[in-house]
Amino acid sequence: MKVICYRNTKITLPNWIPNSRLNEECPLGFAYENGDFYVHMYGRGEGLYTISPGLTVTEGKKEETSLTQWVVNRFGAKDIQPMYEDVGVAHPSIWRPGLYTYDELQQGLKYTSFEKEDEDQALFLLFQKLIDIFSYIEPVECNLSCYGHRLRELIILASTEFENQCRHILRANQIHPQGRDYASKDFIKLNIPAHLTEYEVKFKPRIAIIS
């Protein structure tokens, strides 16, 4: 089932209580055909969790109305674009918005409880080392030229863990290099299915208050 995404411009729907903030909080729309019905879900325009399955609208299909026409008529859809994947497609070990509960995550991403705990521990150790470094070096732009063995150690550990994750995801999704070991040019293949260019990391200052 092909999916389209778009911006909502209509605030109210038939038989719904008017909500003037609905389009502000959930400006995105996602729609697809399921049997004799059209299905629409609202989505947020920022943050990681961008799809809201709890805000779902369905309506019986009409032969003279296409899915695109339906979203335009009902939701005032603009900037309509096709989605990269079909409905229900999930890539093992690659999380995307829409998977929320632990059961959904475990089913869609295909991991065991032991694997999750192992990855949690690896991430915790990296953060622990980073926090320890930040107790000596303030994470501000003027300190970008700082260097030392603790930083070197963290960079090596983080790089090794990143390479390990890439290898795991490539194997889980059956993206294999032919007759050789993995290299950087193989890791580039993860950019499209994992949407890596859409993510960024920010450090926000935190003040700890001890009472």
For 7, the enclosing helix (H) or strand (E) is strand 3-7
Q: Residue 82's CB: how many other CB atoms inside 10 A?
A: 8
The residue ranges of every structural domain in the chain are 3-89, 106-198
Token pair in block for residue 186: 């193989």
Q: Helical H runs in the chain?
A: 22-25, 67-75, 102-109, 113-134, 149-172, 184-187, 191-194
Provide the residue-wise pLDDT of the chain in tens; the chain has 211 residues.
689 999 988 765 555 555 557 777 788 889 999 889 999 988 887 766 677 767 788 889 887 789 999 999 888 899 999 988 888 787 888 877 666 677 877 887 888 888 888 888 999 999 999 999 988 898 888 988 998 999 999 999 999 998 988 888 888 888 876 667 888 888 888 888 888 887 777 766 655 555 4
Q: Is 163 helix (H, G, I), strand (E, B) or coil?
A: helix
Q: Is 31 helix (H, G, I), strand (E, B) or coil?
A: strand
